[in-house]
Structure 1
Amino acid sequence: MRMQYVSVAVLLFAVSSLGLLGCSGNGGATEVVTGTVTFTDGSPVSGGTIIFADTQKNSSSVGYIQEDGTYTLGTFGESDGAPQGNYKVTVIGSSDYGKSSPISSKFANQDQTPLTAKVVDGENVLDFEVEKGR
């Protein structure tokens, strides 16, 4: 239950950061970032959120995972991509109310996630594999 609150808090922080950055009007150069999130057995993660956090610049980009496991990141808008840089990646699976996420909780925790990404100039296709929760 506690992990569920932590996951919700991380999601709210990321969405709030996205909103604040989007309202600043400064914008900035972003690169297209798309990909697919799957479980280790190859099945797609159906729904949820993927967050790229640049802890050096204190910024984040968010993508919503579709039913087929695909996502597109957004920073200043819903799908404008992410600035170039190195990121810690967290994945929060969607779940029915009162049920735990289908994804292992370590992927929703920025300090525990093993996922990282590097966004470079041009189009970035970044796929991730996560473990199922218990």
Structure 2
Amino acid sequence: MQMQNTSVATLLFASTLLGFLGCSGSGGATEVVTGKVSFADGSPVSGGTIVFADTQNNSSSVGYIKEDGTYTLGTFGESDGAPKGRYKVTIIGSSDYGKSSPISSKFANQDQTPLTAEVVDGKNVIDFQVDKGR
């Protein structure tokens, strides 16, 4: 139950942050970031949220994982990319109401996730592989 509350809280935070930044109008330089999230067996993570968090600059970029496992990040808009830099990456898989995420909970926790990424100039294609939840 606590994992479910953590997932909901993270999702609400990311959505609120994206909405706030999108309304600020300040914009900034971003680079295109796309990729695919899959399980170790190669099957796609079908739905969910991916967050790139820049802990040094206290900012984040959010993407929504589609049914085929692909995502596009957005910072000031839904798909405008992310600023250059290094990020901790968290991923929360979609689940039916009352069920746990299909992804291992360590990927949803910024302190536990082993996932990192670096956004550089130009188009960035960054794929991730995650473990299934129990």
TM-score by length of 1: 0.98
Question: Which SS does the other structure have where 2:37 is aligned?
Answer: strand
The residue correspondences of 1:43-122 to structure 2 (distance < 5 A) are 43-122=43-122
| Separation (CA, whole Å) in 2 of partners of 1:104 and 1:124 | 25
**How far apart are residue 23 of structure 1 and its match?**
1.3
Question: Which SS does the other structure have where 1:38 is aligned?
Answer: strand
Question: Which SS does the other structure have where 1:79 is aligned?
Answer: coil
Q: Counterpart amino acid of 2:43?
A: S
Identity across matched positions, percent: 83
Structure 1, unaligned stretches of length 5 or more? Answer: none
For the pair 1:18 / 2:30, whether they are aligned, the reply is no
| Residue deviations 1:33-70 (CA, integer Å, cap 9, x gap) | 00000001110000000000111111111101011000
Question: Which SS does the other structure have where 1:30 is aligned?
Answer: coil
**How far apart are residue 16 of structure 1 and its match?**
1.1
TM-score by length of 2: 0.98
For the pair 1:35 / 2:32, whether they are aligned, the reply is no
| Separation (CA, whole Å) in 1 of partners of 2:110 and 2:82 | 18
Which structure 1 residue ranges, 4+ long, deviate > 6 Å from structure 2? none
Q: Counterpart amino acid of 1:31?
A: E
Structure 2, unaligned stretches of length 5 or more? Answer: none
| Separation (CA, whole Å) in 2 of partners of 1:7 and 1:110 | 11
| Separation (CA, whole Å) in 2 of partners of 1:18 and 1:55 | 16
**How far apart are residue 114 of structure 1 and its match?**
0.3
How many pairs does the alignment contain? Answer: 134
| Separation (CA, whole Å) in 1 of partners of 2:10 and 2:25 | 24
Which piece of structure 1 moves more, 80-89 or 10-19? 10-19
